[in-house]
Amino acid sequence: MNPINVAKFGGTSVANAAAMDNCANVVLANPATRIVVLSASAGVTNLLVTLAQGELDAAGRDAELAKLADIQHAILASLGHPAEVSDQIHAQLDDIRTMAQQASQHTDAELADRLIASGELMSTRLFTELLRQRGVNAHWQDVRQIMRTDSRFGKATVDIVATRTLCQQTLGPLLGDTLIITQGFIGADSDGRTTTLGRGGSDYSAALLAEALDAGSIEIWTDVPGIYTTDPRLVSSARPIPEISFVEAAEMATFGAKVLHPATLQPALRQNIPVFVGSSKAPAEGGTWIRASTESRPLFRAVALRRQQVLVTLHSLNMFHAYGFLAEVFGILARHRISVDLITTSEVSVSLTLDHTGSQSNGEPILSDKVLAELGQWCKVEVETGLALVALIGNRMSEVNGVASQVFATLNQHNIRMICYGASAHNLCFLVNEGEANEIVNRLHQTLLD
């Protein structure tokens, strides 16, 4: 059998019946597509997260539940209220109501994941029905039977080996003549309890399934025709990038470009599976291919922006013991599974940046009082917010003379809080005041990329 294609559609692509219809066209246009991975319809996961947080009173819950039901009903109506799927969706909505009520009495991470996972379970039911109505032999697969994770609810880690075995056993026999429709973002631990992979995790799910099934390509369908040189809403001259390498795309995803979940490229890279990013609304516009190596390797490829950065500066209390200090600090952060983006150090202090909320599915803030208290035993902790991270992505940036002066000469009107340069040849990034970020990105794009 020729290598298969795994196609993933994001929330806006499955927001309503018309959008789902576009997805069906895209799926049917590529005969290699055997697996379709979906997000929840746009807005659904956010509503479920609100319910999972359990802070609403009965009336507030009813209002959110009504919004959820409206989204599902509109799609059901377009499909002509098919009996079986209508029943499944209504059963799911009933479960959501019960779980939301439980969450209002007592929230816990396991319950939250069960609740938050409902969005993908519903969107896939609806899309399977839509395909069947178009004459496709579509099979709805509960991904929890094949995506094995640990039990860290909210941001579970996938067991790649177990997932591979399960995928091959369960899906292998179906691949020949069925189109498999399954959920992104969710999985299950070895006790069968529902887990989630962190917000935006559907892209990552698609890549993991592609890896497990030795797929030949992955398509990520979203609402923009590919990865741009920068956010086109910020800079009008931003343009799509036809081809980009795994490393550059990984830097971009990590440092701000919202089109792709940062973890997506790990499985693709491990198995060298090319990834395509395009718009399900306008597939003819083309998109971006992400591959191991590309023909063009420009010095500057793109500029990414990530807002809501937190800068944490830790001053050692005892400068004569500075050698154990970094190990201690990173030990504490690791125990709390906090991932650090940028680091600069001096003899007695270390500055690091974190994302505002991390990417926990349940929206918990990353710097909890507990973490701050633990760090406080070792050092004086200073936390600054209102910052944004600007990253220039490209090739050989640390090897070519004059890169830093070229970049910073453009920005001499601005205060740069922290710079990371040299760790990767593909990335130069720095922290700026959130309020100046738009102007900075525009300036850089104008001078280096226009």
Binding residues for substrate, by number, are: 45, 120
Sheet hosting strand 138-141, strand order edge to edge = 138-141, 179-183, 33-38, 5-9, 217-222, 275-279, 287-291, 243-245
Nearest to 30 by CA among 179, 167, 133, 168: 179
- Give the binding range for Mg ion (CB under 5 A) out of 4-12, 46-54, 112-120, 264-272: 4-12
Of 302, 201, 306, the residue nearest 242 (C-alpha): 302
CB 271, min distance to ligand ASP, A: 21
Q: Which two tokens stand for residue 108?
A: 């816990």
Contact flag: residue 40 with ligand ASP (CB under 6 A): yes
Question: Residue ranges for the binding site?
Answer: 8-11, 45, 120, 222-223, 228, 233, 258-259
Out of 4, 10, 147, 188, name the contact with Mg ion by CB under 5 A: 10
Going by C-beta distance under 8 Å and a sequence separation of 6 or more, which residues neighbour residue 314?
329, 349, 350, 351, 352, 375, 378, 379, 380, 381, 382
Q: What's the closest the beta carbon of residue 143 comes to ligand ASP, in angstroms? A: 12
Q: Figure out which of the listed residues 54, 154, 200, 225 binds ligand ASP, where binding follows CB under 6 A.
A: 200
130, 139, 175, 277, 328 from 170: Cα distances, Å: 23, 12, 10, 27, 45
Does 199 interact with ligand ASP (rule: CB under 6 A)? yes
Q: How far is the CB of 193 from Mg ion (least distance, A)?
A: 24
Measured distance CA(71)–CA(52) in Å, rounded: 18
Q: Which is nearer to ligand ASP, 199 or 417 (CB)?
A: 199
Distance CA 213, CA 143 (A): 14
Is residue 45 a contact point for ligand ASP (CB under 6 A)?
Answer: yes
Least Å distance between CB 127 and ligand ASP? 14
Cα–chain center distance at 103: 25
Binding site for ATP: residue ranges? Answer: 8-11, 222-223, 228, 233, 258-259
CA–CA dist 302, 325 (Å, integer):
36
Between 210 and 449, name the residue whose CB sits nearer to Mg ion. 210
Among 119, 184, 200, 262, binds Mg ion (CB under 5 A): 200
Nearest alpha-carbon partner for 411 in 448, 384, 450: 448
Residue 201 found at the interface with ligand ASP (CB under 6 A): yes
| Nearest approach, Cβ of residue 397 and ligand ASP (Å) | 30
Interface residues with Mg ion (CB under 5 A)?
Answer: 10, 200
Interface residues with ligand ASP (CB under 6 A)?
Answer: 10-11, 39-40, 45, 119, 184-185, 199-202
